[in-house]
């Protein structure tokens, strides 16, 4: 068993007695950008010294910049059903919450997709509650098919990441055949007693089955899996160490660890009160967690949602976050309902800006917001992606692709302000592209985009 509670607690305890010099040794090792093992991560988790913590923040920023460059991947969630047989204490969709449940018809799915496309989105995370009778795998597959087929002028969803409950190898195989991007599943908490308390009398309450979901998904051929913890349920140090052990387990068994790690923090939802959760993370601890994850697994994307407000999102982009959502709604049929009135949300969000507003801030902060989905569509997934990432080769395709996807966005969904920002951005990175020998290629493709062609990835 790769998660052993006594072992995790022992490692964390031992790390408390480590000298400042040993901590410095781990920080120096992290500077090589090759990642850290779980024992080293345990040491960083125990840092109290401000100076050493500042070094971690700085290093996390440098590592992120050197591996991801300036690009930030954009996505939005799409909720298609809130039927749920589980009773997760923290969740607004728990079965004890009485409200009219619904699942979207395929026509309604298409309506939501068109709204998302008209905001410029190309990548979505498909979200549902768990209900094998009302929402069987065939319904999910039908939704995936509808989403990929629904176009809106130049708009199309090019990558669907799927965040559905733990399921069987056979169902994972079906998802693989439906061409999903990443299969995302949050462990919620790795701490078994807390897990069982949070998921009373339900299918989701089976800790071991949930924990081994990625084993089944990868056995079924899914290359990219995205893990995560719902921070606020249990001790964050325990959770981060367990995440690292889970990652090591996948690396050993499948030669590739998490493609992404999500860092959701518990938010207010219907039928729960934040006061009942003693492990809520303050902002400082949260920042520390993100920075440590960044230097521990430099090649794993870190995803931050609109659960967080714009100030924290802006700061965490500097410490390691590489992927963010924008314009999100967490209710079923919510994109249409948002235009019309109230929808039942799974939890509260804190960054209500439109994607266009988020993009403008990103560009003015020096980032390249990216709608690129090329890797997965060109077969650069799983171990293949990691090899390219670790050798740095991926850089030569990522930045041009990100820029081209941004140009595409500005042409189809932008206003004059962002078009001007994008022109200035192109001017400012010309020399970098010259050095990478890709300037001519990028310039000619931007011309082709301006002439109406689309989807021009390297």
Cα–Cα distance for residue pair 70/345, rounded to 1 Å: 33
How remote is the C-alpha of 90 from its chain's centroid? 20
The answer to whether residue 445 forms part of the interface with ligand SAM (CB under 6 A) is: no
The single residue among 347, 367, 371, 433 that binds ligand SAM, judged by CB under 6 A, is 347
Quick note: the x/- pattern for ligand SAM over 128-147, rule CB under 6 A, is -xx-----------------
Within 10 Å of residue 12's Cβ, how many Cβ atoms?
18
Nearer to ligand SAM, 352 or 424 (CB): 352
The answer to whether residue 165 forms part of the interface with ligand SAM (CB under 6 A) is: yes
Termini Cα distance of the chain: 41
Quick note: the x/- pattern for ligand SAM over 183-202, rule CB under 6 A, is --xx-x--------------
The answer to whether residue 160 forms part of the interface with ligand SAM (CB under 6 A) is: no
Quick note: the x/- pattern for ligand SAM over 14-43, rule CB under 6 A, is ------------------------------
Shortest gap between Cβ of 262 and ligand SAM (angstroms)? 8
Tell me the residue length of the chain: 458
Residue 382 region, left (φ>0) first, then alpha (ψ -120 to 50), else beta?
left
Cα–Cα distance for residue pair 87/91, rounded to 1 Å: 8
Cα–Cα distance for residue pair 190/35, rounded to 1 Å: 22
Token pair listed for 258:
């998490």
The answer to whether residue 333 forms part of the interface with ligand SAM (CB under 6 A) is: no
Count of residues that interact with ligand SAM, criterion CB under 6 A? 20
The answer to whether residue 163 forms part of the interface with ligand SAM (CB under 6 A) is: yes
Contacts of 197 (CB under 8 A, 6+ apart): 89
Name the packing angle between helices 38-45 and 283-296 (round to 10°).
160
Quick note: the x/- pattern for ligand SAM over 288-317, rule CB under 6 A, is -------------------x----------
Only one of the segments 58-66, 124-132, 139-147, 423-431 lies at the binding site for ligand SAM (rule: CB under 6 A); that segment is 124-132
Which positions from 373 through 412 interact with ligand SAM, judged by CB under 6 A?
none
How remote is the C-alpha of 395 from its chain's centroid? 20
Only one of the segments 38-46, 236-244, 259-267, 288-296 lies at the binding site for ligand SAM (rule: CB under 6 A); that segment is 259-267
Residue 326: C-alpha distances to residues 2, 131, 307, 396 (Å)? 35, 28, 10, 26
Only one of the segments 138-146, 266-274, 380-388, 397-405 lies at the binding site for ligand SAM (rule: CB under 6 A); that segment is 266-274
Residue 113: which of 143, 83, 134 has the closest Cα?
143
Nearer to ligand SAM, 163 or 194 (CB): 163
Contacts of 211 (CB under 8 A, 6+ apart): 3, 187, 190, 246
Task: Please work out, in degrees rounded to the nearest 5, the angle formed at the alpha carbon of residue 191 by the alpha carbons of 81 and 77.
Answer: 25
Shortest gap between Cβ of 370 and ligand SAM (angstroms)? 23
Shortest gap between Cβ of 80 and ligand SAM (angstroms)? 10
3-state secondary structure of 124: strand
Shortest gap between Cβ of 22 and ligand SAM (angstroms)? 34
> Under the rule (CB under 6 A), what is the footprint of ligand SAM?
90-91, 127, 129-130, 163-165, 185-186, 188, 204, 230, 264, 266-267, 269, 307, 346-347
């Amino acid at each position: 068993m790769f998660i052993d509670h006594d072992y995790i607690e022992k490692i964390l305890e031992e790390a408390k007695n480590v000298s400042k010099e040993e901590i410095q040794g781990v920080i120096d090792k992290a500077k090589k950008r090759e990642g850290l093992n779980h024992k080293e991560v345990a040491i960083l988790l125990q840092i109290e010294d401000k100076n050493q913590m500042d070094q971690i923040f700085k290093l996390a920023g440098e590592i992120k910049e050197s591996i991801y460059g300036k690009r930030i991947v954009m996505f939005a969630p799409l909720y298609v059903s809130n039927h749920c047989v589980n009773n997760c204490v923290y969740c607004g969709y728990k079965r004890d919450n009485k409200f009219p449940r619904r699942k979207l018809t395929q026509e309604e799915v298409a309506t939501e997709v068109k709204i998302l496309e008209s905001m410029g989105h190309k990548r979505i995370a498909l979200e549902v509650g768990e209900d094998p009778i009302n929402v069987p795998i065939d319904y999910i597959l039908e939704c995936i098919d509808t989403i990929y087929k629904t176009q809106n002028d130049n708009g199309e969803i090019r990558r669907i990441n799927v965040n559905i409950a733990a399921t069987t190898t056979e169902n994972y195989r079906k998802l693989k055949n439906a061409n999903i991007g990443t299969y995302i599943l949050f462990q919620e908490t790795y701490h078994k007693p807390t897990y069982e308390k949070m998921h009373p009398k339900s299918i989701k309450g089976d800790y071991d089955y949930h924990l081994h979901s990625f084993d089944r998904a990868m056995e079924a051929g899914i290359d990219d899996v995205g893990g995560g913890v719902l921070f606020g349920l249990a001790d964050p140090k325990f959770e981060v160490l367990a995440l690292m052990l889970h990652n090591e387990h996948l690396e050993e068994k499948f030669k590739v660890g998490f493609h992404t790690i999500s860092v959701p923090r518990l938010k207010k939802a219907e039928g729960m009160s934040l006061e009942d959760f003693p492990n809520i993370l303050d902002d400082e601890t949260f920042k520390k967690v993100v920075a440590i994850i960044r230097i521990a697994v430099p090649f794993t994307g870190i995803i931050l949602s609109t659960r967080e407000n714009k100030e924290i999102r802006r700061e965490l982009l500097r410490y390691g976050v590489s992927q963010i959502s924008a314009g999100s709604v967490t209710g079923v049929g919510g994109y249409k309902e948002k235009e019309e009135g109230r929808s039942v949300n799974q939890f509260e969000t804190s960054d209500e800006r439109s994607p266009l507003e988020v993009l403008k801030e990103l560009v003015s902060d020096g980032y390249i917001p990216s709608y690129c989905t090329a890797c997965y569509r060109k077969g650069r997934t799983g171990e293949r992606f990691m090899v390219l990432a670790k050798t740095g080769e991926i850089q030569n395709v990522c930045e041009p692709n990100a820029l081209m996807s941004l140009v595409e966005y500005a042409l189809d969904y932008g206003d004059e302000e962002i078009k001007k920002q994008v022109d200035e951005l192109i001017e400012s990175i010309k020399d970098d592209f010259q050095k990478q020998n890709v300037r001519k290629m990028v310039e000619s493709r931007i011309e082709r985009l301006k002439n109406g062609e689309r989807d021009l990835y390297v």
